[in-house]
Amino acid sequence: MNYKIENIKKKMEKLNIQGMIITNPSSLRYVLGFDVEGMIFITDKGNLLITDSRYIEYANSMITITDGIATANISELTDDDNFSFFEDCERVGFEEFDLTYSSYSEMIRRYRISDMVETNGLIEKLRMIKDNDEISYIEKACNITDNCFEYLKKFIKIGMTEKEIALEIYNYFIKHGADGLAFDTIVASGTNSSKPHAIPTDKKIEYGDIIVIDFGAKYNGYCADMTRTIFVGEVNKEAEKLYNFLFEVQANATRKFLEGEDTKVIAKSVEYDLNQKNCTLIHALGHGVGIDIHEKPILSVKSSSILKNNMVVTNEPGLYISESHGIRLENELIVRKTVKNEYGQFMEFEVMTFVPWDLEAINLDMLTIEDKYELNKYHAKVFEVLAPHFEGDELEWLKQATREV
């Protein structure tokens, strides 16, 4: 049987529910491994995907016998069929964050459900922990995104518009095997960069601009998310200080931590670092990534989650000077177990984004020994991953971009 359904059933048992209705499109993708419109019913009697004539043939071609999931065309179901699904279930769970009240009421009526109950994000919580296949899809999405950024650095020219850059990102993704965009691309230059979620405009790139690019590919249904800040021409001193400080904050947020640590603790440490410079983080430090670009856990002072092995998250501190400029640095990370000693099990963030930081924008004299260590460690990993795919001038550039400082 589909192991994800087995995990759902274990959670159902703890919640004392005998049936489950899955309606969220991302939850359907999680369970089935492909996109389809419909619902999944889970009971002790069996598991059923209900869809319509547009998808039934495709669904039948994708589901195997070992999945343990039957299919049905909703237009062919009788009232007796509908009444029989949950006849032995005292309590039936549903995804409370997805279902409207009218749909909730209609399900109770159509399927004669005596007690339909919330499941407290049951499937959302399961989705936080990625399996090996999911991790490989995210790694591929990140790889396409990384390569796209290296391409963009050569592609972007003065006089080009933000919209042209955003379109080129989409075209690159499609040409290199991605499903498409993981989310709407952010290309924000000049004063637009002070808006964290700016929409690409017809503004042309000018000498002296700061460009914030937040983008990601989607591969086999799973997302990548990366932000880099590009300087067009010389880096001014104020921007250099902000970039430097933000790099330090980014590095501090990715140090080892003890198993069981709350995301709120990590976010508060970043908030403390920012407050020392009279700065404020106006958005979350990071978020989970998977089928959706924004998933749990959320790394924020307002959210509480325990980081666990094989969670995939972002680390994206940003600083924004209203009507002037903004800088954001973002990597995608996977939580891994590391050393265990008398103090307990330690965890670490393993990088999934392999793009060098801009050494020309970092004042190395301002870095602490620990910051330089983190920078060199990251760049050594970037070189290790990318070098086999580079040669000639590109390899020389990579050596220089990841040089030890």
**In the predicted model, what is the mean pLDDT of residues 177-200?**
97
> Helix 132-155 crosses helix 162-175 at what angle (to 10 degrees)?
130
Q: What is the pLDDT of residue 109?
A: 93
Q: What is the pLDDT of residue 351?
A: 96
Q: What is the pLDDT of residue 241?
A: 87
Give 291's pLDDT tier (boundaries 50, 70, 90).
Answer: very high
Q: What is the pLDDT of residue 280?
A: 85
Q: What is the pLDDT of residue 185?
A: 98
Cα dihedral: 338, 339, 340, 342 (round 10): -140
Best CATH choice for the domain 3-127 from the list 3.40.50.720, 3.40.350.10, 3.40.605.10, 3.30.70.2740? 3.40.350.10
**Is the per-residue pLDDT at 358 higher than 80?**
yes
Q: Which CATH fold topology does 129-401 show?
A: Creatine Amidinohydrolase (3.90.230)
**Which of 389 and 346 is assigned the larger pLDDT?**
346
The mean-pLDDT minimum among 15-29, 269-283, 289-303 falls in 269-283
Give 52's pLDDT tier (boundaries 50, 70, 90).
Answer: very high
CB of 79 closer than 8 Å to CB of 103: no
**Is the per-residue pLDDT at 1 higher than 80?**
no
In the three-class reduction of DSSP (H, G, I as helix; E, B as strand; rest coil), residue 11 is classed as helix
Token pair of 199 as six digits:
């929409």
pLDDT digits (tens, 9 = 90+) for 201-260: 999 999 999 999 999 999 999 999 999 999 999 888 888 888 998 998 888 888 889 999
**Is the per-residue pLDDT at 275 higher than 90?**
no
Give 379's pLDDT tier (boundaries 50, 70, 90).
Answer: very high
Q: What is the pLDDT of residue 204?
A: 98
* The amino acid at 131: D
Q: What is the pLDDT of residue 81?
A: 87
DSSP string, 150-201: HHHHHH--TT-BHHHHHHHHHHHHHHTT--EESS--EEEEGGGGGSTTPPP-
**Is the per-residue pLDDT at 277 higher than 80?**
no
pTM exceeds cut of 0.85: yes
**In the predicted model, what is the mean pLDDT of residues 33-52?**
95
pLDDT digits (tens, 9 = 90+) for 318-338: 999 989 999 999 999 999 999
**Is the per-residue pLDDT at 281 higher than 90?**
no
DSSP state of 318: E
Q: What is the pLDDT of residue 340?
A: 93
Q: What is the pLDDT of residue 253?
A: 87
Residue in this structure with the two tokens 């000018």, named with its chain if needed:
206
* The amino acid at 387: A
Residue in this structure with the two tokens 């796209």, named with its chain if needed:
148
- Domain extents in the chain: 3-127, 129-401
**Is the per-residue pLDDT at 167 higher than 90?**
yes
Residue 293 Cα distances to 5, 175, 203, 297, 346, angstroms: 23, 21, 27, 12, 27
**In the predicted model, what is the mean pLDDT of residues 335-362?**
94
Cis, bond preceding 25 (omega within 30 deg of 0): no
Give 2's pLDDT tier (boundaries 50, 70, 90).
Answer: confident
**In the predicted model, what is the mean pLDDT of residues 362-385?**
91
Average pLDDT of the chain is 94
Residue in this structure with the two tokens 């050494």, named with its chain if needed:
359
**Which of 105 and 274 is assigned the larger pLDDT?**
105
